[in-house]
């Protein structure tokens, strides 16, 4: 089985920084520590309201870290212009609502085809690897194929926030979706709500190539330190992968 990549999302280091409006804790420093402890990539979501990552962070991250940057962004002209200016390794198109606490569901890739198609083409033409953050759902995978997205990221929120039979059902949906995507030449990724306790069944899905994990890692780092926490997540993922 191929190695499963770990993308560390450092948004919530910026959340803490922004609580006081100063310069620390610095998400770039967090990205460096993550890269020294087993991360394969860094993920940052520049939200419309700049509640965590701010514009300067994107340039600073690209300048300072050797790992690929995955910029999560809403499908807006403003975000497109920023992505084209900085040219991160990857861009993940996410749905965004101002009032939400976090990205609460997948993108409606099927319903927004006409809006997304030109935006994805412009990102791809600039050499940026585009993914769409979708629910593990056949209709959304077919829409991603029609959009020409080389990567899909499955929203694991429902899996993470349920238990028992419901969780088993969600896991099966994600496994089936990953197999369907891979069969159609799309690289499946996954993320949202993953923790030490729930990561392994997702990591064991053979087609999934990358997990993007943020909130839990940054929260846990308060107690254990970011380096050891990233290292432990890496270990759990590798163990699940066999
Ligand atoms: N992947 C995407 C596309 C996201 O938007 C997020 C943040 O909501 C994550 C992964 C990471 O989720 P979490 O912070 O819950 O680990």
Q: What's the pLDDT score for residue 98?
A: 62
Q: How many domains does the structure of the chain reveal?
A: 1
The tens digit of pLDDT for each residue in 71-123 reads 999 999 999 999 999 999 999 999 977 666 666 778 898 889 899 999 999 99
Residue nearest to atom 4 of ligand 1 (CA): 192
Question: Which residues of the chain are modeled with pLDDT < 70?
Answer: 1, 98-103
Looking up tokens 């020294």 gives 36
Which residues form the catalytic set? 45, 72, 192
45 CA closest ligand 1 atom index: 5
Looking up tokens 């809403």 gives 74
57 half-sphere exposure, CB direction, 13 A CA radius: 33
Please give the model's pTM, rounded to 2 decimal places. 0.96
Task: Answer whether the bond into residue 25 is a cis peptide, omega within 30°.
Answer: yes
Instruction: At 8, list the tokens.
Output: 């560390």
Q: What's the pLDDT score for residue 111?
A: 87
Instruction: At 205, list the tokens.
Output: 């899905």
Neighbours of 196 (CB within 10 A): 14
Looking up tokens 């990561």 gives 199
Ligand 1 first shell, C-beta below 6 A: 9, 45, 72, 92, 94, 102-103, 133, 153, 191-194, 212-216
Distance of CA 159 to the CA centre of its chain: 16
213 CA closest ligand 1 atom index: 16
What distance in angstroms lies between residue 118's CA and the mean position of ligand 1's atoms? 25
Q: What's the pLDDT score for residue 1?
A: 67
3-state secondary structure at position 181: helix
* CATH assignment of the domain containing 94: 3.20.20.70
Q: Average pLDDT of the chain?
A: 95
Range of the domain at 97: 5-241
């Amino acid at each position: 089985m191929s190695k499963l990549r770990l993308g560390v999302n450092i948004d919530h280091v910026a959340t803490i920084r922004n609580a006081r409006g100063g310069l620390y804790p610095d998400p770039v420093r967090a990205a460096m520590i993550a890269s020294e402890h087993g991360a394969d990539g860094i993920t940052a979501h520049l939200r419309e309201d700049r509640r965590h990552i701010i514009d300067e962070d994107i340039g600073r991250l690209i300048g300072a870290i050797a790992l690929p940057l995955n910029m999560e962004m809403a499908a807006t002209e403003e975000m497109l212009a920023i992505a084209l200016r900085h040219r991160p390794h990857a861009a993940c198109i996410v749905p965004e609502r101002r009032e939400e606490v976090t990205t609460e569901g997948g993108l409606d890739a099927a319903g927004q085809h006409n809006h997304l198609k030109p935006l994805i083409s412009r990102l791809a033409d600039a050499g940026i690897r585009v993914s769409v953050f979708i629910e593990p759902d056949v209709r959304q995978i077919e829409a991603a194929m029609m959009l020409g997205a080389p990567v899909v990221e499955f929203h694991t929120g429902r899996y993470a926030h349920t238990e028992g039979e419901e969780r088993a059902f969600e896991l099966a949906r994600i496994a089936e979706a990953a197999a369907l995507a891979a069969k159609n030449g799309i690289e499946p990724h996954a993320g949202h709500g993953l923790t030490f306790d729930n990561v392994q069944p997702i990591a064991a899905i053979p087609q999934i190539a990358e997990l993007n994990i943020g909130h839990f890692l940054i929260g846990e780092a308060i107690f254990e330190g970011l380096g050891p926490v990233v290292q432990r997540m890496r270990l759990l993922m590798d163990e699940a992968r066999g």
